[in-house]
Structure 1
Amino acid sequence: MKAFLERKGVHISFQAYAITALSYMALGLFASLIIGVIIDTIGNEIPNMPQFLVEVGSYAMEPFVYGGAIAVAVAYGLNAPPLVMFSALFAGAFAADSVGAGPAGSFIAALLAIEFGKLVSKETKIDIIVTPLVTIMVGYFVAVVAGVPIAEFLNGFGQVINWATELRPFTMGIIVAVLMGLALTAPISSVAIAIMLDLNGLAAGAATIGCSAQMVGFAVSSFRENKISGLVSQGIGTSMLQVANIMKNPYILIPPTVAGAVLAPIATVWIQLENNAYGAGMGTSGLVGPIMTLKTMGFTMETFMIIVILLVLAPAIISLLLSEFLRKKGYIKAGDMKLDA
């Protein structure tokens, strides 16, 4: 059995499902739902923008669109054969649209459909019929049986986090910011987690702080090693680029993590920073976090200044000061945060 699974490319592991598959799910979400939200926001909130942007954005946000995108992205990430990849689109779209299970249901239905599809792929002489048939049917039954309960559980868990943040904004703000920030930097999808848990309000604001602190913090702390290219690739790209360096020297993770923990209670208790699930796990990546904050709290100069200070300037200053301190103490050495060209 082990040899058969290996031959079919089915690797039952935490790495494959919780890291690789979830990370590719985030790409599917970004290529559909999240970019759709951005386009729709631009069309609705910026004066004199062409109205076709609203139509484009709204369509990209449709459940059957982002559900299908999630499925195809996960199939690609798990190296699914072509017939499995194309057929998996049904599982993701059906779970999100017809069943109403949202991104979480799409992910689970697509994941199982893909793995079962891989098992039968090219095992018969009528592969062109058997493989898509198995993939689609497995996706259908998983979506119907498990999609809604899974989505309801994750949404309920997210509501508990939101409730706890409202009740204890100081403590829960720090916890959410640190955990979501670490999830963003680790090879795990923070945006997928935020959307599946339906984070909103203060909890989403805390998550935005933690994620932004990681990105801006690493971008500024590693400027001497990576210059402008590193500033851009980490500041509005992803701090995940530092994972290999973190494995070599975990001390480099301290400055941005502390920055998020320090700023989170300021944001949740005094500033009342809020966001939605789409921006909560993105930080400054593609400027999605700031854009969604503006959409949630309103396009005002006050909100804009809060974003600049809490999501950019403050984490940059705190991270730089801490990283310089650790450099002087010898915990961080020259080249520890150097990115591969």
Structure 2
Amino acid sequence: MEKLTPKSFMMHLLNGSALGIVVALVPGALLGELFKALTPYCEPLGMLTQMIGATNAMVGIAVGVAIGYMFKFTPIESISVGLATMAAGGAVRFADGIIQLKGTGDIFTMVFTAGIAVGLIVLLRGKVRGYAILVVPVVSLFVAGALGRLAFPYFIAFSQLLGSWIAHLLTLEQTLMAVLIAIAFACLIVSPVSSVGIATAIHLAGVGSGAANLGICACAFSLAVAGRRVNPLGTCAAHFVGSPKLSMPNIVAKPKLLLPIMLNAALAGVLASLFQIQGTEFSAGFGISGLIGPVNHLKLAGWGAGQLAVSLLVFVIVPVAGAFAVDWLFVNKLKWIAPEDYKIDVS
């Protein structure tokens, strides 16, 4: 196993969590809305829709296993990290003797739990040897998992506090509000904070919801376009098909990458106000992933040709054009950012 430094330890945690999140959410992002629309006409698709819902709730396992992979753990060790992360992450609920899967869980808690599990496994590795299959899963679950479970309410409280700050933006003049909301959600989507959770907590609806989705679109396309020189096409597409969180480690390592994202998001916020882009508290925070943002706007504004054209303009054409513009500005003109800053290793 490689020699770990505090920086490499944290980057492995962030890389693994980003990869796990995207892998778990891609099936729903690609096919979730389509299957929901077609289920009334084809009943077997209902089962696939249920499977997608279950997959979304298993982000914790995906994150834990991916983090174990980043640390070059054995299968026993990786699965143990995954189980502890899933148990503590918040998607598993216990009510009246019934175990429920609800939501995706809290990313902060998952990273915290996985970090403890990894640390314990590294400490135990040389001591348990042939007893690893008996010791590692138990210690990971009942020590790391329990500590993560205890920390979960505090991470949720932090997210709620952050949400209350963002909620103050809703009291501003509409265009200013839309710009700041778009920027805020463009930054949230590449952090461990759940953009969907924040939107739901503050009941973000109307133009505020539309601005949040357009901000996330701007972030996704900015990262996809900027990374085209150093990443495979599929990895670039995963930013808007799946989640921009794939680039979370890059953002944490080099916060200056937020500058072009925020500039493109500000433009998106202006469009949200100008074209009255709508959304609900349950659709905000997704962006264009699964077409949730544009579909919910069209449900509220109508499916006329004019609104379809507006949706194509604000959710795709302008964010993509803006992404190329800010990429040229910060990479080619100002040279503040190097193409290699966007490199993602998913191998």
| TM-score (structure 2 length as normaliser) | 0.67
**Greater relative contact order, per chain length (Cα 8 Å cut-off, separation 6+):** 2
8 Å contact kept, 1:10–1:115: no
CA drift at 1:132: 1.7
Counterpart in the other structure of 1:117: 121
CA drift at 1:129: 1.6
Matched, 1:263 2:256: no
8 Å contact kept, 1:102–1:151: no
Aligned mates of 1:322, 1:136 — CA distance in 2 = 45
* Cα distance, 1:140–1:233 mapped onto 2, change above 3 Å: closer
Counterpart in the other structure of 1:313: 317
Counterpart in the other structure of 2:92: 97
Counterpart in the other structure of 1:45: 37
Map Cα deviations across residues 204-239 of structure 1 (whole Å, 9 max, x no partner): 53343233224445767899x89x969975885769
Map Cα deviations across residues 245-283 of structure 1 (whole Å, 9 max, x no partner): x98xx7x986654232122143157514336678736x5
Aligned mates of 2:308, 2:198 — CA distance in 1 = 26
Matched, 1:69 2:74: no
Gaps of 5+ in 2: 95-101
Which amino acid letter does the alignment assign opposite residue 148 of structure 1?
A: P
CA drift at 1:97: 0.5
- Which shows bigger deviation, 134-143 or 46-55? 46-55
* Cα distance, 1:67–1:233 mapped onto 2, change above 3 Å: closer
Counterpart in the other structure of 1:205: 210
- Which shows bigger deviation, 89-98 or 213-222? 213-222
* Cα distance, 1:27–1:102 mapped onto 2, change above 3 Å: same
Aligned mates of 1:194, 1:25 — CA distance in 2 = 16
**Partner-residue secondary structure (3-state), 1:301:** coil
Q: Residues 143-292 of structure 1 correspond to what in structure 2 (within 5 A)? A: 143-154=148-159, 156-157=160-161, 159-161=163-165, 163-168=167-172, 169-181=174-186, 189-190=190-191, 193-195=194-196, 197-198=198-199, 200-201=204-205, 205-217=210-222, 233=237, 236=240, 240=247, 257-268=262-273, 271-274=276-279, 280=285, 283-284=287-288, 288=289, 290-292=291-293
Map Cα deviations across residues 142-169 of structure 1 (whole Å, 9 max, x no partner): 2431123322432x13532552242225
| TM-score (structure 1 length as normaliser) | 0.68
**Partner-residue secondary structure (3-state), 2:58:** helix
Aligned mates of 2:57, 2:77 — CA distance in 1 = 18
Aligned mates of 1:61, 1:142 — CA distance in 2 = 27
* Cα distance, 1:198–1:132 mapped onto 2, change above 3 Å: farther
Superposition RMSD on alpha carbons, in Å? Answer: 4.6
Aligned mates of 1:319, 1:178 — CA distance in 2 = 14
Matched length: 314
- Which shows bigger deviation, 126-135 or 102-111? 102-111
Gaps of 5+ in 1: 1-6
Counterpart in the other structure of 2:49: 57
Which amino acid letter does the alignment assign opposite residue 143 of structure 2?
A: V
8 Å contact kept, 2:222–2:327: no
Match of 1:86 among 74, 79, 82: 79
Matched, 1:21 2:13: yes
